[in-house]
Amino acid sequence: MGYNIAIDGPSGAGKSTIAKQVAKELGFIYVDTGALYRAMAVHFLKQGLTAEQPEKIIPACQSAEITIVYENGKQQVILNGENVTGMLREEAVGNMASRTSAIPEVRAKLLNLQREMAKKQNVVMDGRDIGTNVLPDAKVKIYLTASVETRAARRYNELVEKGVACDYETIAKDIEERDRRDMTREMAPLKQAEDAVYVDSSDMTIDEVTAKIKSLVEQEEA
C-alpha cells in the first residue's frame, strides 16, 4: 500500500501547483485526477457530443481507454492510444469535464484507475472527491481553497501571461458556476472530508502551503 496524500478543493485553488511541489519534495508521484475527467471530456467532444446528451455519453464511456504514463516525471494522459495531454487545459474541455463528471458512469469508469495508482505507489493525488471517496484511508487529507476573487485573479494573470485575451468578470463568474456544479452534484460532490485539514491559500504563498502540508505529514508519521 502506498502512502497517500489527498488534496481536494475547488477550481483554481492552486491544488496542482501545491500537489506537484509536495510530491517533488517528498519523492512521491503526483496524480492529477482532473486530467482524467478532462480526457473523458475530450473523448466525448471528439464524438461531437454535448453535455446535454447523457443518453449518448453513458454508452460512449465504454469506448474510452484511459491510461496514465510519466515522461520525465510529468503526467501524460493517453486516450485510446493517443497522448491528449496537450488538449486538456482548453476552456471547452474544462467546461465539458465539469458537466460530464457529474454522470455516475463517468466517475465509475475512473475510480479503479485512481485507486490502483494509489495502491502501488506513494502519491499526492488532487481532485474533488479524493479524501471523501477515492482514497478514504489517505494518511493526510487537505481541503485547499481560496476566495473566488483570489482564484479569478490567479487565472486571469495566468492567461494574460500566456497572451490569451480574457476578462476578469467572466472568469470569476465561470469559477462560481463551476464551484456550484462541483459542490451540488449528486454523486461524489466536492466537500471537505471530516478528517481533512482546511487550508485557505488566499493569503499564503506556494511555499507556505507546501510547508504546511509537509508538517502534517511529519506530524502523522511521528
Q: Which residues of this chain interact with ligand DC, rule CB under 6 A?
A: 11, 33-34, 37-38, 94, 97-98, 101, 127-130, 178, 182
Closest CA to 79 of 91, 89, 71, 67: 67
Task: State how beta strands 197-200 and 140-145 pair.
Answer: parallel
Strands (E), the chain: 4-8, 29-32, 66-71, 74-79, 82-83, 123-127, 140-145, 197-200
Nearer of residues 80 and 95 to ligand DC, judged by Cβ: 95
Nearer of residues 102 and 217 to ligand DC, judged by Cβ: 102
Nearer of residues 14 and 34 to ligand DC, judged by Cβ: 34
CB of 218 to ligand DC, least distance (A): 26
Cβ-contact 94, 100 below 8 angstroms: no
CB of 5 to ligand DC, least distance (A): 14
Cβ-contact 38, 97 below 8 angstroms: yes
CB of 26 to ligand DC, least distance (A): 21
Nearer of residues 90 and 215 to ligand DC, judged by Cβ: 90
Nearer of residues 129 and 213 to ligand DC, judged by Cβ: 129
CB of 10 to ligand DC, least distance (A): 9
The position carrying cell 475547488 is 10
Cβ-contact 188, 128 below 8 angstroms: yes
CB of 46 to ligand DC, least distance (A): 17
